[in-house]
């Protein structure tokens, strides 16, 4: 009788040992791939690793907002109806409305299309670009805007309207202080002395 109960206990211990070892092996089988999977996902999210989205894949974002500060800690805000990501730092923008605080006044920008490089803070605006600043309205087909240094330029025809005065030129640029706008190429101006 003692022998039978000893054999039954030993059989139960062996069964439970095999069962526990089976559960442990299953746990290892499921935990190892999930750790590898987690490691893989973490490596994919590395911001220092450059990645390009394949040509047949588009990431579109509607009603997106980009915000930041220039070198003088003045805020800017870019709102776009639709954004398509080209790669890590470059975005195609459609239906742009931007606001940038310069010289304690707001510079407002409207454009149909644009490209934003977040790494260099360069905003290239195209199609029906309109820039408004202190009653001065500047229109062009393409304008480059450095959001960090606030330097604005264009190698395309530009028209500036200020109250009853106008200036037309083939290109323009501003300096780093933003107090001077340089017009170049076939500059035609109609100035009303009462506007100044």
Q: Where are the beta strands (DSSP E) in the chain?
A: 60-69, 75-85, 90-102, 105-117, 122-133, 136-146, 152-154, 158-162, 165-169, 171-174, 181-184, 188-190
pTM of the predicted structure, to 2 decimals: 0.63
The dotted CATH code for 60-195 is: 2.60.450.10
Report DSSP letters for 173-196, one per residue.
EE-TTSS-EEEESS-EEE--GGG-
pLDDT of residue 102: 72
Give the number of other Cβ atoms within 10 Å of residue 178's Cβ.
15
Whole-number Å distance between alpha carbons of 175 and 196: 21
Cβ atoms < 10 Å from Cβ of 74: 16
pLDDT at residue 158 in the model: 92
- pLDDT value at residue 7: 74
> What is the rounded distance in angstroms from the CA atom of residue 123 to the CA atom of residue 172?
16
Over its length of 196 residues, how does the chain's per-residue pLDDT go in tens digits?
566 777 777 777 777 776 777 666 666 565 554 444 444 443 443 434 444 555 555 566 777 888 888 888 888 888 888 888 877 788 888 898 888 777 667 778 899 998 888 888 888 888 889 988 888 888 999 988 888 888 888 898 999 898 888 889 998 888 766 567 888 888 888 877 776 6
- Residue-range domain boundaries for the chain: 1-45, 60-195
How far apart are the C-alpha atoms of 143 and 165, rounded to whole Å? 21
Per-residue model confidence (pLDDT) at position 29: 63
Q: What's residue 157's pLDDT?
A: 92
Task: Note the pLDDT of residue 44.
Answer: 43
Annotate 35-68 with b (16+ C-beta within 10 A) or e (fewer): eeeeeeeeeeeeeeeeeeeeeeeeeeeeebebee
Handedness of CA 52, 94, 72, 167 (dihedral sign): positive
pLDDT in tens, 81-126: 888 887 778 888 889 888 877 766 777 889 999 888 888 888 888 8
**What pLDDT does 9 receive?**
74
Q: What pLDDT was estimated at residue 39?
A: 41
């Amino acid at each position: 009788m003692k022998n039978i109960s000893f054999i039954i206990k030993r059989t139960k211990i062996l069964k439970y040992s095999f069962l526990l070892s089976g559960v442990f092996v299953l746990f290892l089988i499921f935990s190892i791939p999930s750790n590898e999977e987690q490691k893989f996902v973490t490596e994919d999210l590395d911001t220092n690793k450059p990645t390009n989205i394949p040509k047949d894949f588009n990431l579109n974002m509607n009603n997106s907002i980009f915000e930041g500060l220039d070198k003088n800690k003045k805020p800017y805000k870019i709102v776009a109806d639709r954004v398509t990501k080209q790669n890590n730092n470059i975005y195609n923008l459609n239906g742009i409305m931007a606001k940038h605080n310069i010289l304690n006044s707001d510079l407002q920008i409207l454009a149909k299309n644009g490209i934003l490089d977040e790494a260099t803070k360069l905003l290239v605006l195209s199609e029906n670009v309109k820039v408004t600043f202190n009653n001065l309205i500047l229109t062009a087909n393409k304008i480059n805007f450095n959001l960090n240094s606030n330097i604005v330029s264009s190698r395309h025809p530009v028209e500036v309207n200020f109250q009853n005065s106008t200036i037309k030129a083939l290109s323009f640029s501003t300096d780093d202080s933003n107090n001077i706008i340089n017009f170049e190429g076939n500059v035609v101006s109609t100035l009303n002395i009462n506007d100044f």
